[in-house]
Amino acid sequence: MSFSIAGKTAIVTGAANGVGLAIGRHFLREGANVVFADMDESHLKKEMGEQAREEENCRIFAGDLRERLTIANLLSLTVDAFDQVDILVNGSRQMVPADPLDSENDQVEELLQQNLMTALRMSQAVAKRMMRQSEGISEGTAGTIINLSSIAARRTHPELLAYSVSTAALDQMTRSLAVALAPRRIRVNAVAFGSVMSASLMGALKENEDFREEIVDHTPLNRIAAPSEVSDAVQYLASDASSFVTGQVITVDGGRTLIDPVTAPAH
């Protein structure tokens, strides 16, 4: 059983900060070629610009991945740099609490575009490339797609209506694409995680000192996850160690979904 991803080429979206950035850096350390993609060009250059200039196995790409042309340009950059793409991590997502009874708020539609449709279009484009790469090869995995989801898909937080709906849809998309792409030897899975010490959570903890205790109290393992703990799960799904795993949503939440009531913190 090998967890190695050395020499493989990965596209990681939502990679300017948080979990996406952690996954991209983790993949680099494991010897993969990585394209870090995000809408936030300034943050992306700040975090990875110098490394992209200095290291042959690192590239950055800034653009609005809600646009089909941007997706095509990202794929072209990846293939031009590394000749192929073996792994796609769909990490471009947004979570914004809002009043679920506000009829003027179009957040459900907006987050479906950001969290679901972007991942679907990226998956479709990359899967077609993976199919072309694997022509004439009848064994092994032709490629892997990993969607970053959330335990919000299964929990009830009214202020996260839009986010919960979009991540629940992402989980179903994961299962549907897994079945559709299985004959092509492309595996599709997801990692749904709970509270992770990301930039957004650190900001929330600075604003509310009691927030950390609330989260920990609702997590059986009694702590907040490090981004690396999500990265390890993603690497498993990207590697040959999970060669017979597809259509699964792996939960990384310290047991929180086992006990989490409606009143638990949203993060």
Q: What integer pLDDT is reported at residue 126 of this predicted model?
A: 98
| pTM listed for this prediction | 0.94
DSSP character for 115? I
Domain-by-domain residue ranges, the chain?
Answer: 9-259
- The whole-angstrom separation of Cα 114 and Cα 76 is 21
pLDDT per residue over 208-255, tens digit each?
878 889 899 989 999 999 999 999 999 999 999 999 999 999 999 999
What are the beta bridge partners of residue 44? none
Structure tokens at 105: 């708020």
Give me the torsion for CA of 246, 248, 254, 255, rounded to 10°.
Answer: -140
Q: What integer pLDDT is reported at residue 95 of this predicted model?
A: 82
Q: Report the first-to-last Cα separation within the chain, whole angstroms.
A: 34
Q: How many C-beta atoms lie closer than 10 Å to residue 263's C-beta?
A: 8
Please report which helix (H) or strand (E) contains residue 36, including its range. strand 33-38
Q: What integer pLDDT is reported at residue 42 of this predicted model?
A: 96
Structure tokens at 158: 């009214």
Q: What integer pLDDT is reported at residue 120 of this predicted model?
A: 98
Q: What integer pLDDT is reported at residue 76 of this predicted model?
A: 98
Q: What integer pLDDT is reported at residue 185 of this predicted model?
A: 97
Q: Tell me, which fold does domain 9-259 have in CATH?
A: Rossmann fold (3.40.50)
pLDDT tens string, the chain, 267 residues long: the values are 689 999 999 999 999 999 999 999 999 999 999 999 999 999 999 999 999 999 999 999 999 999 999 999 999 999 999 999 999 999 998 887 778 878 777 888 999 999 999 999 999 999 999 999 998 887 889 999 999 999 999 988 888 899 999 999 999 999 999 999 999 999 999 999 989 988 778 877 888 878 889 899 989 999 999 999 999 999 999 999 999 999 999 999 999 999 855 556 556
